[in-house]
Amino acid sequence: MLNGKSVLVTGGTGSFGKAFLKTVLARYPGIGRLVVYSRDELKQFELRQTLSEQEYPALRYFLGDIRDRDRLRRGLEGVDIVVHAAALKQVPAAEYNPFEFIKTNVLGAQNLIEACMDTKVSRVVALSTDKAAAPINLYGATKLCSDKLFVAANGIKGSRDLRFSVVRYGNVMGSRGSVIPFFLDRRKTGVLPITDPAMTRFNISLAEGVELVLWAIENALGGEIIVPKIPSYNIQDVARAVAPSARIEIVGVRPGEKIHEEMITPSDGPNTIDIGKYYLLTNSNAALAERYISAGAKRVPQGFSYNSADNDEFLTVEQLRSLIREHVDPAFSHEGF
C-alpha cells in the first residue's frame, strides 16, 4: 500500500506520530519517502536519536508549522499521502487560550486542505477526537470545525484524484498527558486525584490508532468520519488497577470536561453505517452511504448513539493492568501500591 509512496505526517513527533512512523518503517521497507512535519526542533532532534536518516534513508525531518501555508506547500511537494496529527489538545489550556487553538486546529486544517489541493496529494486522513462530538469545550469545538472542513473539502476538489477522510477515537492509552502515565507518576504519593467517580472514557491503544489510519488510507472513499469499536473504562477502575491501596481524592470536573464522552451522538445516528470493525459517519451524504452499503455495510438501528457510559464493553481492573503492561510499561506492577 505505501511502498513507493511519499507520506507526510503533520505532528510527526507526537505520541501517535512516533508510533505511526515505527509501524510504517517496519511494515513498508519500500516506502519512497516518510516526512516528519513538525514545529519543535528539539523533539525532532530527540526522535532522530532512535529514528535516524542513516538507518532509515526514507525518513525526512521537515521543520514547519501548519499555521504557515507557504511552508506546508513546500513540505508537500512530491507527497502522495498526508496523515494530519498536528493539533493543540489540552482541554484546560484551550479554555484559557482559545484563539491559539483556533489558529492551529481550525486555520491550520484549512491551510493543509488548500496546500493539498495546490500539490499532487491524493489521500488525506485527519485525526479527530471523541471531544468533537457534541463539544462542550473549546478544544472539541475546534476539532469539530476541523472535521467539517476536511469532509467538505471533498466537495470542492474538482477533478483531482484527492480524498479527505477523518478518523475519530477516544483516549489513547499511555499517550503524553493522559491519565495512566499521570496516575503512575502520582501513585508514589499514596493519593490519586479523580475528577468524578462516575467518569468514563473510551480507550484505544496507539497500535490500534495506527491500524485505523492505515485502514483509512487504503479503504476510505472520502467524506466519511471513521469511528472504531473500542471498550470503555471507569476512572475508578483505572485508579484501582494502578494503585489499589491509594487514597482517592475527588477534585471536581475541570473546565470544559465531560463526565462521559461521545463518539456518535443520537443526531448523527441516522447518518451512521456499520461496516463491522468500524462505524462510519457519512454526514448526510446519501451517495457515499450507498457505496458502502452496496459493499456489505449496514445501517445502524434507529435511535443509535455511541458513548462511553452506554458502551457494551467495559475494561476490568485486570484487563487494564494487562493493557498497561502491554502498551505503557512492560515492568508495571500494582504490588506495593
Residues with a catalytic annotation lie at 131
Say how far apart CA 16 and CA 112 lie, in whole Å. 19
Instruction: Identify any residues that bridge with 329 across adjacent strands, giving them in sequence order.
Output: none
| CA–CA separation, 203 and 201 (whole Å) | 6
The secondary structure element, H or E, covering residue 96 is helix 91-96
Residue 194 sits at φ, ψ, to 5 deg, of: -125, 135
Contact 328, 173 (CB under 8 A): yes
Scored b (16 or more CB within 10 A) or e, 262-290 reads: bbbeeebbebbbbbeebbbbbbebeebbe
Amino acid (one-letter) located at 226: I
Kind of pairing between the strands at 232-234 and 200-204: antiparallel
